[in-house]
Amino acid sequence: MGRSWTEIREDFPILKSKMNGQPLVYLDNAATSQKPQVVIDAIAAFYQKDNANIYRGTYELSQRTTDLYEGAREQVAKFIGADRSEIVLTAGATASLNLAAFGYGLPVLRPGDEIAVTAADHHSNLVPWQEAAKMTGAKLVYLPLDLGGKVDVERVKKEQIIGKKTKILAIAQVTNVLGTNQPIAELINLVHQAGGVAVIDGAQAAGHLPVDVKKLDADFYAFSGHKMLSQTGIGVLYGKKKLLEATRPLFFGGEMIEEVGLTSATYKKAPYKFEAGSQNVSGAISLGSAIDYLTEIGLDKIAAREAELGKAAAAGLRAIPGVRVYGQGGGIVSFNLAGIHPHDLATALDAQGIAVRAGQHCAQPMMNFLQVPGTVRASFAFYNNEEDVSALITGVKEAKEFFHGLR
């Protein structure tokens, strides 16, 4: 039998701290996760015992560090069901999606081609494709959404929105505003039938639910380490081997080359041709440590726990007169309090030690879809607990009383 959630919570030292003199209730996990002590220790141990530049050194320390870095690549590959040669280590999901858009998209897109996207997506998986479309003459086609921000697959099929002109589908597996789990398996199948390629933003999925890129048949899959317990500045782009070989590097310099002459150079095969310069070794090691930690708990167990907390929070918020919950998926709950700006409500919660996010969440088209200027987003992780849910509900009630008292 595994450890209890109470025991697991003890692994996260920051949760014992205070904010504005109140015990910290951290509910901004969709923006970045907190780090367990084992990951913090892994980062510290690297700098204490193993710090060296990878690949280039003939001395033992460099070789040992290289093994750690490549070991992390192997861990990532196993974590998402891929081959290690299909794993590019990047600076984060944004860097990964830009590599897919400009390294792969620019060479293959032509005037009149279509890129299927949604209004529910994070700017990181929308703006690069907007730019790629401008540069190539391709066209963005928005997939229809239901009221919960989920792609209406039946309408996509009926209206043949994904068709012969569709070269790329770019979509999040789980949306960052409502936590909507998109029907990506069906959409990937549709775009493949049309001869196109699927680019999946997995930033809100990896580390929160089991991911198998082979079963999904994703062509590219991007995610960030800092949203799944590791440090910032590390991310992953998975790509099928043949597609990575067809993708151009965006950065050039040391280590990614085979030979350099006075006027030209040749590059290594994927994934190394995408990893120019000195890499974020501590980030890769922290990601490997986070993967070990998550795997030990179990991704199915994590997904169920986060959904349990998210549902409890949504139910409690809906019971407050004046609160509108726009959606809840997994641990993500987006809501507003009537007559109160989201930023003001978030500030009132901050005074009570409750950390939530407010605004447009880097998803302005989604805000337009919801017809609101912004929302408050509470996002739960498996290390949160029922007391955090109660604190949020009580905090919103107290904020409501405070603001109404000012009128």
List, by residue number, the catalytic residues.
362
User: How far lies 15's CA from each of 10, 94, 196, 227, 354, in Å?
Assistant: 8, 28, 45, 16, 12
Q: What is the distance between the alpha carbons of residues 185 and 237, in angstroms, rounded to a whole number?
A: 18
Residue-wise DSSP of 300-334: HHHHHHHHHHHHHHHHHHHTSTTEEEEEEETTEEE
Closest CA to 238 of 100, 91, 72: 100
Counting Cα atoms < 13 Å in the Cβ hemisphere of 315 gives 9
Closest CA to 237 of 126, 104, 109, 114: 104
For residues 257 and 268, the answer to whether their CB atoms sit within 8 Å is yes
Q: What is the distance between the alpha carbons of residues 334 and 256, in angstroms, rounded to a whole number?
A: 43
Distance of CA 26 to the CA centre of its chain: 18
Q: What is the distance between the alpha carbons of residues 68 and 42, in angstroms, rounded to a whole number?
A: 11
